[in-house]
Chain A
Amino acid sequence: MTQSAVQPTPASPTPPGGHLLDVRDLHIEFRTREGVAKVINGVSYHLDPGETLAVLGESGSGKSVTAQAIMGILDTPPAHITAGQILYQGQDLLTRSEEQRRQVRGKEIAMIFQDALSALNPVFPVGWQIGETLRQREGMSRADARRRAVELMDLVKIPAAAKRLGDYPHQFSGGMRQRVMIAMALALNPKVLIADEPTTALDVTVQAQIMDLLADLRRDLNMAMILITHDLGVVAGVADRIAVMYAGRIVEHADVRSLYRAPAHPYTKGLLESIPRLDVRGQALATIKGLPPNLMRIPSGCPFHPRCPYAQQVCVDEVPHDLVLGDGRTSACHFAQEVRDDSAR
C-alpha cells in the first residue's frame, strides 16, 4: 500500500495512459479462528471507460471479494487487505478515509448483487428504496426523489413504473426485482457498474432480458462494467475482455475472441471443455480432476498443478509469472505457449 497522502480532490479526468479503474497486485486474507485463508493473492486488472470486463471463476476463486474490496464493503475483520492498490482515476481508494470512500460508492462505482430478494429491504416499498439514495446523497426532496425513481424505473423498463412505486419487493418477479436493483445502482449515474452474478438466480428467458438491458444501459449511459460470473456462456455474449480467476489469482487475461478460440491456461481450457454445449454433441464430458484448493493450504508453485494435465516438476517448485502472449494476452502458466497451441489445433 502506498503511504503517500493522497489529496481528497474531486473526480479528475483520467491521466493520459492511465486507466479508469486499476487494481494493482491486491492481496487479501481472511483471518479466522481456524487459520488464515489467503483469498486474494496478487490480483491486477484494469478497466477503461465504456468497456466490459468479465471476471470469471468458480466459487471461492475470489472474484466477488475483489469486487467488494473495490467497493469498500469488505467485512474487516475477518478480511484484511495486506497489499496492493486500487486506483480509481489515478487515486488509491485504499488510502482514503471512510467518508471519502462513501462519496465514491454509488456515485462513481456502483454494484448490483446476485440475489435481488435479499439485497432489497422487504419492509420498504421499492420506490422509497430507489429514492433513498437520492435523498441521502443528493439532498433531494421526497417529491423530487419520487419523480426521479419513476424515471429510473422507466429506464430499466419496469412496466407501469408510476403505479408500482409503492409495491414491496415480494410483489415483484425475480427479473423485475433485478431491474429494481439496477435502477438503484444507476441512481447516481455511476461511471463503473460492478455486476456480481446478475443473472445467476434467473431463468434463461429472463436472463436474456436482463443481459440485454445491461448491455443497452452500458452503451446509452457510457458506463464501464465489471461482470462477475461463473457462466462461460453469458460472458461470450457481452464482454470485451475476460480475466479468469483461480485460487485468488488471475490465471489468464485476454480478449473474448482469443480466449474462447485458443485458451492459453490449462484451467481455462479445462473449463471450456467441461461444459455441455447445446450446439455441439459429444461423448463423455472432459473433466478437471480433483477439487479447487483449500485457501488455507494453497499448493506450492502453481496453485493449479495438482489438477493440471500439463504439470511438471517446475510447476510444483515455481510460481508461474504472467506470460505475455501478444495482443495484451497473459497467462500465468509455465507452458502457456504449448497450451495455446494445443487449443488452437
Chain B
Amino acid sequence: MTAPASPTKVRGETLLSVDNVVKHFPISQGVLFKKQIGAVKAVDGVSFELRRGETLGVVGESGCGKSTLARLLMRLESPTAGRATLEGRDLFKASGSELRRLRRNMQMVMQDPYTSLNPRMTVGDIIGEPFDIHPEAAPKGSKRGRVQELLDVVGLNPEHINRYPHQFSGGQRQRIGIARALALRPEIIVCDEPVSALDVSIQAQVINLLEQLQDELGLSYIFIAHDLSVVRHISDRVAVMYLGKIVEIGTEEEIYERATHPYTQALLSAVPVPDPDARTDRSIIRLTGDVPSPADPPSGCRFRTRCWKAQEVCATQEPHAVLRAADPHPSACHFAEVRAAA
C-alpha cells in the first residue's frame, strides 16, 4: 500500500490545527414547552496542533470530554464555537463536497469492536463501504482487490473477505476497524480508546500494528485513551484533559517525567505499576472526591475542588494553559511546578 499522494509531505509540519473549540450540550426541561435550563460543557475551549507523522495522545478520566472532542473532529457533532483548520480549510464550516473531501483525509477507529461493525455485513462490505461513499478512491472493479490488500495490511487473512464480524475475535475485529479507517488512505486517524476493550496479550498486538502502519504510511494519530501507560508507549506528544479543558500539553517526556500540573501528577501517581517493589518507593497522591459535573463546573480552576495546592486565586481566576517562565511546556495551573523527586 502506498502512502497518500500529497504534493508536500514534510514530517513535522502542522496538519490539523484546532483553535478554542467548544461543545455544550443543552439540558432542557419541560415536555411541551422545552426550555434550556443549562448546558453540559463537554468540551470548553480546547486548542492544539497535530503535526504530520506524529501521535498526539489525549488522556483524561471519563467525562473529561475526550470522546466528544474526537466526535467533533470527525464532524459527528457540530461544535458550539471554535475552528479547526485542515488543509487550510475550516473543518467546521465545510459542507457538501468540500466536507466529503476533507473527511477522506481523516478517519476514525472506534472503541468497541463489537458494536462498531454491522453484524449483517460481511467484512468485505464493511471495509469496502468507504469506497461506495467515495467512488473516486477506487477505480471501478478494483474494490475487492483493494479490500483484500487492506486485510493483508492489518494482518488478517485476505480469504476471509466473505466472513461476518461474529466469526472474528475482539482483536481481529479491531483490525477490521483499522482496515476500514485505512481504506481511503487518510493522513489522520482518530483512535478513540482503540485497545481498551481488548485483553492484554491482544492489546499489544494492536498497538504494534498501529505503530507499524504509522511508520509505513506516515500516518498521524490522535490517540484517545484513559490508560496512561498505553498512551505513553505510543505517543510523541500528550494532552491531559480535565472537565472539558486541556490542563497540560507537552512531549511525552515532558508530561511523564516533568509534569507541572497537579492533576497530571496525581493521575500519573495513581497508575498501578506491575511491580510489587516499585510500589514502596513511589509516593502516591490520593485525590479525594469525584470529578465535578461538567454541567456545573467549579469557578476559576476546574481542578481546585480536588487540588491540594488550591488557594484563593484558584477560585476567582481561571489559569490558562500558557508557557510560564519556570515551565518547559504549557500547563494550566497558577502554581505549576515540577513535583519534587517522587
Contact = CB atoms under 8 A, between A and B. Distances in A.
B208 interface: yes
B121 interface: no
B332 to A, nearest CB: 18
Contact of A288 (B201, B226, B274): B201
A174 B289 CA distance: 11
A233 B266 CA distance: 17
A292 B276 CA distance: 27
Contacts of B324: none
Contact of A275 (B200, B211, B256): B200
Given A203-B61, A285-B204, A233 B272 contact: yes
A100 interface: no
B226 A204 contact: yes
A260 interface: yes
Contact of A233 (B271, B286, B290): B271
A277 B229 contact: yes
A275 B169 contact: no
B201 A58 contact: yes
B277 interface: yes
B284 interface: yes
Contacts of B203: 274
Contacts of A161: none
Contact of B200 (A203, A211, A256, A271): A271
Interface in B285-321: 286-288, 290-291
B61 A205 contact: yes
Contacts of A59: 199
Given A204-B226, A212-B286, A285-B233, A230 B273 contact: no
B272 A256 contact: no
B116 interface: no
B169 A286 contact: no
A298 interface: no
A291 B172 CA distance: 9
Given A275-B204, A276-B229, A291-B169, A232 B286 contact: no
B202 interface: yes
Contacts of A212: 286
B12 to A, nearest CB: 21
B272 A203 contact: no
A103 interface: no
A132 B229 CA distance: 41
Interface string B7-29: 00000000000000000000000
Interface string B136-171: 000000000000000000000000000000000101
Interface in B244-289: 256, 266-268, 270-279, 284, 286-288
A155 interface: no
A318 B31 CA distance: 69
A278 B276 contact: no
B201 A209 contact: no
Contacts, number: 121
B83 interface: no
B230 interface: yes
A270 interface: yes
Nearest to B266: A205
Contact of B204 (A206, A209, A286): A286
- Interface range on chain B (Cβ under 8 Å from partner): 35 or more
A121 interface: no
A275 B229 contact: yes
Contacts of B286: 208-209, 212
A286 B207 CA distance: 11
A236 B200 contact: no
Contact of B229 (A206, A207, A234, A278): A278
Contact of B199 (A58, A207, A272, A276): A58
Interface string A273-307: 01111110110111110011000000000000000
Interface residues of A, number: 44
A203 B230 contact: no
B205 interface: yes
B228 interface: yes
Contact of A276 (B61, B172, B205, B230): B230
A204 B208 contact: no
Contacts of A175: 290
Contacts of B291: 173, 203
B277 A234 contact: no
Contact of A271 (B201, B207, B233, B275): B201
A275 B233 CA distance: 10
Given A175-B290, A230-B199, A291-B171, A277 B284 contact: no
A167 interface: no
Interface centre among B172, B273, B279, B286 (most CB of A within 10 A): B273
Nearest to B169: A291
A237 interface: yes
A257 interface: yes
Contact of B268 (A207, A233, A278, A281): A278
Interface in B165-213: 169, 171-172, 199-205, 207-208, 211
Given A59-B199, A234-B272, A276 B278 contact: no
Interface string A215-240: 00000000000000011111111000
27 contacts: A58-B199, A174-B62, A203-B226, A204-B61, A204-B270, A204-B271, A205-B61, A205-B287, A209-B286, A209-B288, A231-B272, A232-B274, A236-B279, A237-B272, A237-B279, A260-B277, A274-B201, A274-B203, A274-B204, A275-B274, A276-B230, A277-B229, A278-B228, A278-B271, A287-B205, A291-B171, A291-B172
Interface of B: 61-62, 169, 171-172, 199-205, 207-208, 211, 226, 228-230, 232-234, 256, 266-268, 270-279, 284, 286-288, 290-291
Given A206-B61, A233-B274, 8 more contacts: A176-B290, A235-B274, A256-B276, A271-B200, A274-B203, A276-B229, A277-B229, A292-B201
